[in-house]
Amino acid sequence: MTIVLEITLVLLTYLLGSIPFGYILTKKSTGKNIREFGSGNIGSTNVKRVAGKKIAFFTQLLDMLKGLLPVSTVIILSKYCEIQFHENFIFSVAFASILGHNFSIFLKFKGGKGVNTTLGASLLLAPEAVLISVAIYFIVKLVFKYVSLGSLSIAVSMPVVSMIFSQSNSTFIYLLICSILIILMHTDNIIRLIKGEENK
């Protein structure tokens, strides 16, 4: 019976992660299809360029909640309803939200780059790694001015911080996979950074 619940939760989490809030909010506020403007990405950085700071803020918040709420649900069900999930199942839920955001079923499996959703999904699983990585992000962004470089610093620092704080092997592997995915999703940004053509 537990396996049915686990599969259901993973599928529902993927669907929640797939909700393209950046696309929806930008369309509603400006009438524009965000995928046709700026970088074409549905994340908060491109939303800010197309729809402004306010819409970008709500996009960022909602994208983080897509990861945070499913993980919180599993913790609540496990702690208060005493449901015995399989070991490391919570990481599957966290990753499902990220995959939903990056490869949304509602956008023909296109989506964002997953930074905000990764932060939301990982906050309760590895709070030190998330908070320190966010601090590093702001430092890198302040010094170099590139949002993409800041995002890449989050990807690199999360598993490193996890290792420094001696978190579980499962947590480290989960964060390492998230890190690799973020870097892969930023391939075009990395190329532009190398060429000196990246937008700030």
Query: What is the C-alpha to C-alpha distance for residues 75 and 42, in angstroms, rounded to an integer?
Result: 29
| The predicted structure's pLDDT at residue 30 | 95
Residue with tokens 């449901």: 83
| The predicted structure's pLDDT at residue 26 | 96
Query: What is the C-alpha to C-alpha distance for residues 11 and 197, in angstroms, rounded to an integer?
Result: 39
pTM of structure? 0.95
Query: What is the C-alpha to C-alpha distance for residues 179 and 189, in angstroms, rounded to an integer?
Result: 15
| The predicted structure's pLDDT at residue 38 | 84
| The predicted structure's pLDDT at residue 192 | 93
| The predicted structure's pLDDT at residue 200 | 72
Burial of 1 per CB tally in 10 Å (0-12, 13-18, 19+): exposed
Joined tokens for residue 175: 């964060």
What tens-digit pLDDT sequence spans the chain (200 residues)?
Answer: 789 999 999 999 999 999 999 999 999 999 999 999 888 889 999 999 999 999 999 999 999 999 999 999 999 999 998 899 999 999 999 999 999 999 999 999 999 999 999 999 999 999 999 999 999 999 999 999 999 999 999 999 999 999 999 889 999 999 999 999 999 999 999 999 999 888 77
- Within a 10 A sphere around the Cβ of 122, how many other Cβ atoms? 26
Q: What is the distance of C-alpha 183 from the center of its chain?
A: 12
Residue with tokens 């992000």: 137
